[in-house]
Structure 1
Amino acid sequence: MAFEDRYGLGLSTQSETAAQRYREGIDLLQSAWPGAAQALDSAIEADGDFALALAARARAHLIYAEMQQARKKAAIARALVARNGSAREKSHVEILALTTEGQPARALELTLDHLDRWPRDALIMSLPLGAFGLFAFSGMADHDQARVDLCERHKHHYGEDWWFLTFLGWSHTENGDVEAGRRITQRAFDQRRKNAHALHALTHAMFEDGSVLDAENLIAGWLPVYDRSGLLYGHVAWHQALLALENGDTERASSIYAERIQPKINPAPPLNVMTDGVSLLWRLQASGHPVQRDVWRDLADHAGGWFPKTGNSFVDVHMALLTAMTGNWSALEARIADLEARRHQGKLPAGPVVPDICRAARAFAEENYRTCAEILEPVAADVVRIGGSHAQREMIEDTLLIALMNSGEPAKARDLLDRRLHRRPSLRDTRLRMGVAA
């Protein structure tokens, strides 16, 4: 009997149980719902030669930075698929294996070619999408548009599929068409409410269009059904904290950090724990709610073990802010030096904006606001190249905004904030939080 995945693509397994558990595992992985790893493990137990299940399990390991396990399973999958896999499965496994080996540029190149041949290979389609996807972390200045273009090119292959609609909607939201993005994402969420990616994408759309109360109610009604072990539990809580800050409630935002986001209690992947923690603590500090130094140090101790070296621009920027706020100048300068070396070697796709933000972080922490503004102003348009989402990158924009205000440049600060308000007309926004005069 021949088995297929949920999108009608063949699976090289003779086990009905393995095929069924694989389909379940992929849906759980694609919805960021707990149980994906267990389902994929069951598929592998039912058929130890099932290369796609091993490759998908490698992907799940990679998300949680379990690098040794990820590479081991990817290597086994490569060997297996070489013996009995179809052309599609061989390409599929190769792409996933490359992501475990730190070859994102090659993985992206093969992904785009693969999707031209097998556009309904949803797990491979997922790789360039999202705030932490291959497009976002490519260093491209137009990665928001690239995601939309990819989704639009292949959307006729997916119809009303809940997973595809989730990322089609999110891509439009991040590319500035928030009305369409919210509408499309709502269709996905209505089909499958046990879909953390859809909840997350809707929250982004509501944040961008200023529907703060809608976002608060959405999260409050949904988060209790999502287990704390879920991939995005801490990040959705981070969005709750941002909404609290939009309403000027720094105490609630601080409580959310302590109860759901801090590294001692947050089971999310290390990348999420570090970046969510840094950006929320920084925003609290910027909002006039001083963060205790031991809170910064706890996060720094945790993050330092996971991200001691450069390699991912989004990580490097957040680690620079973290080391600056803890006054670890030697670590910050070492990171900047390494970034400059990589840039001169042509190994820094996002370009000079990354070390520039790191230098600005030190100037800001030392309250040298004029220097901070002088560094950030010329590169502000290139901040998009570090990846992440608009909501995440606003932290860098806020850094420039505060630096301009504190260095005697109120007109420039107002101009910057007016551009943000045009893009995101939130009910209170930064104008109230940071005291910029109307």
Structure 2
Amino acid sequence: MTRFDSRGLPLSTTSDLAAERYRHGIDLLLSAWPGAAEVLEEAIAADPTFALAHAARARLHAIRSELAKAKARIATAEEIVARHGTERERSHVAVLSLAIHGQSAMALERALAHADTWPRDVLVLSLPLGAFGLFAFSGMANHDQARVDLCERHARHFDADDWWFLTYRGWSHAENGNVAHGRALTQRGYDLRRNNANAAHALSHALYEGGAHDEAERLIADWLPGYDRTGVLHGHIAWHSALGALERGDPEGALAIYAEHIQPSATAGMPVNVVSDTASFLWRLKAYGHNVPTGLWEDAAAYSENYFQKAGFAFADVHMALLAAATGDKAAVEERVKAQMALIESGALPAGPVVPAICRAALAFADEDYAACARILEPVAAEVVRIGGSGAQREMVEDMLLLALMRSGEAVKAGQLLDRRLHRRPSSRDTRWQGLLAA
């Protein structure tokens, strides 16, 4: 008897329990919900020769930056699937293996080809999508559009009530500027499965991009208490709420959220989120004119010492440079920039020159050399999208340029940038800054 996954694709397992646990585990994984690892382990215990369960477990290890465990698990999956896997399963495992081994460009190419043949293989289809997906970290300037194109190409293969596809299709549209459509799709996905951190996260992004900051804060305040603190997105979703507090001029409230949910000692998030959320929140707090309590920069920098020490991951590089600049470690920034330049020369840093430029600009901003910061950032402002992440995350770099222009006396340029931002998305903070410029 053939067993199937949750989207009707056949599975090479003889165990009903293994298949059921796999379906449940994949849904937990795709919704960033606690318990996925344990449920997938139950699938493996029920059928130790179930290659896709081993592969999914490897994916979870990779999400947690547990690379040695991820590589061991995917090696097991590869060995099993070579002996008795189907063509689809062999391709599935191969794509995940490429991603786990850091061969991102090839993983993206193979994932897209796989999706053309098996579009309902959602674990593989998920790899190019999202703020931290293969498209976002490809160095492409048009990765927002590429995600939309991918979702629209395969939309006909998904049911109208597929909560996972609705969530990622909506998020892709909202990030690409079609905010109302993206919000409607994401809201539908959220309503279908509220126990879905990716949906709550995507909906908060859509609200943010639409200027509905109060709604985003209410959404998070209502939803977050039901999401266990061990969930990988718990701290990051709280980060969105902290940004909302800063937006409405409540630094004390923002710091309280940071202390309870975001700082390294309080979160079980993915390292890339912990490093970027701490660095960008503290940078915003100071840049917007508030005091950063003693020790917070140092605590964030101490956590980061265990991750991303090697240059080449553009999104992490930028935030590591922020931490180093804020804590006075100029040598660390210069060393990272030197390594980035070598990678660019060899073609091994797809995001290109914008990455060292942002790092140098962060150092200039920390030194209060605002004219130099603006001079570095202006020529590459249109290329910031290449570092990946979301629009909300990258906005920090635009803020850096805006504040550098304001503080170096470039009022006309700062005003033009503010006008463009307010046209794109209403912001009470930008309105306040516009008032300062006009005064």
Which digits, 9 at most, give the CA deviation of each residue in 1:272-293, with x for residues without a partner?
1110111111111111112135
Runs of 4+ in 1 over 2 A off after TM superposition: 433-438
Letter of the structure 2 residue corresponding to residue 399 of structure 1: M
Shift of 1:325: 0.5
| Alpha-carbon shift at residue 431 of structure 1 (Å) | 3.3
5 Å matches for 1:175-254? 175-254=176-255
Match of 1:255 in 2: 256
1:306 aligned counterpart, secondary structure: coil
On the 8 A contact 1:63/1:269 being kept in 2, the answer is yes
Deviates more, 1:287-296 or 1:414-423: 287-296
> Where do 1:404-415 residues align within 5 Å?
404-415=405-416
The CA deviation at 1:254 is 1.0
Give the structure 2 partner of residue 49 of structure 1: 49
1:435 is displaced (CA, Å) by: 6.0
3-state secondary structure, aligned to 2:266 = coil
- Is the contact between residue 131 and residue 390 of structure 2 (CA under 8 Å) also seen in structure 1? yes
Tell me the matched-pair count.
437
Equivalents in 2 of 1:97, 1:42: separation in Å? 22
Match of 2:29 in 1: 29
Instruction: Tell me by how many angstroms 1:433 deviates.
Output: 5.8
Shift in Å at residue 437 of structure 1?
Answer: 2.7
More displaced, 344-353 or 306-315? Answer: 306-315
Instruction: Please name the residue that 2:11 is paired with.
Output: 11
Trace 1:160-175 onto structure 2 (pairs within 5 A): 160=160, 161-175=162-176
2: CA distance, partners of 1:32 / 1:410: 44
**Equivalents in 2 of 1:400, 1:190: separation in Å?**
38
Per the alignment, residue 81 of structure 1 pairs with: 81
- Using the TM superposition, give the Cα deviation of residue 436 of structure 1 relative to its aligned residue in structure 2, in angstroms: 3.7
Residues 246 and 433 in structure 1, CA contact (< 8 A), matched pair in contact too: no
Could you say which residue in structure 2 is the equivalent of 1:62? 62
| Aligned residue identity for 1:49 | T
For each residue in 1:254-307, what CA deviation from the matched residue of structure 2 results, as whole angstroms up to 9, or x when unmatched?
111111111012111111111011111111111111213521011101102112
State how far apart, in whole Å, the 1-side matches of 2:436 and 2:48 are.
61
Query: Residue by residue, what CA displacement relative to the aligned partner does 1:147-184 show, whole Å, maximum 9, x if unpaired?
Result: 00000000010122100000000000000000000001
Deviations for 1:344-391, whole angstroms, at most 9, x for unmatched residues?
Answer: 011010010000111111111111110100000000000000000110
CA distance in 2, matches of 1:359, 1:342: 16
Judged with a 3 Å threshold, the aligned counterparts in structure 2 of structure 1 residues 359 and 310 are, in CA distance, closer, same or farther, namely same
- Amino acid of the structure 2 residue aligned with 1:77: A
Q: Is residue 2:377 matched to residue 1:368?
A: no
Bigger relative contact order, structure 1 or 2 (CA pairs below 8 A, ≥6 apart): 1
Q: Distance in 1 between matches of 2:73 and 2:287?
A: 44
8 Å Cα contact 1:25-1:36 kept in structure 2: yes
Rounded to whole Å, the distance in 1 between the matches of 2:363 and 2:289 is 19
* Stretches of structure 1 lacking an aligned partner (at least 5 in a row): none
Contact 1:414/1:436 (8 A) holds in 2:
no
- What's 2:20 paired with? 20
Give the deviation of 1:430 after TM superposition.
2.7
How far has the Cα of 1:429 moved from its partner?
2.9
The answer on 1:301 being equivalent to 2:302 is yes
In angstroms, what is the RMSD of aligned CA positions? 1.0
C-alpha separation between the residues in 1 aligned to 2:53 and 2:435?
A: 53
Distance (whole Å) between structure 1 residues aligned to residue 316 and residue 431 of structure 2: 28
Tell me which amino acid in the other structure corresponds to 2:108: L
SS of the residue corresponding to residue 305 of structure 1 reads coil
Q: 302-311 or 53-62, which moves further after superposition?
A: 302-311
Corresponding residue number in structure 2 for 1:399: 400
For 2:214, the aligned partner's letter is L
CA contact (8 A) 1:74 1:93 kept: yes
Question: Helix, strand or coil: the match of 1:254?
Answer: helix
Aligned partners of 1:282 and 1:433: how far apart in 2? Answer: 17
Using the alignment, how far apart are the partners of 1:278 and 1:413 within structure 2?
Answer: 24
How many Å apart are 1:245 and its aligned residue?
A: 1.0
Which residue of the partner structure matches residue 423 of structure 2?
422
Query: Which sections of structure 2, spanning at least 5 residues, go unmatched?
Result: none
* 1:145 alignment partner in structure 2: 145
Which one-letter code corresponds to 1:166 in the other structure? T
Q: Is the 8 Å Cα contact of residues 418 and 434 (structure 2) preserved in structure 1?
A: no
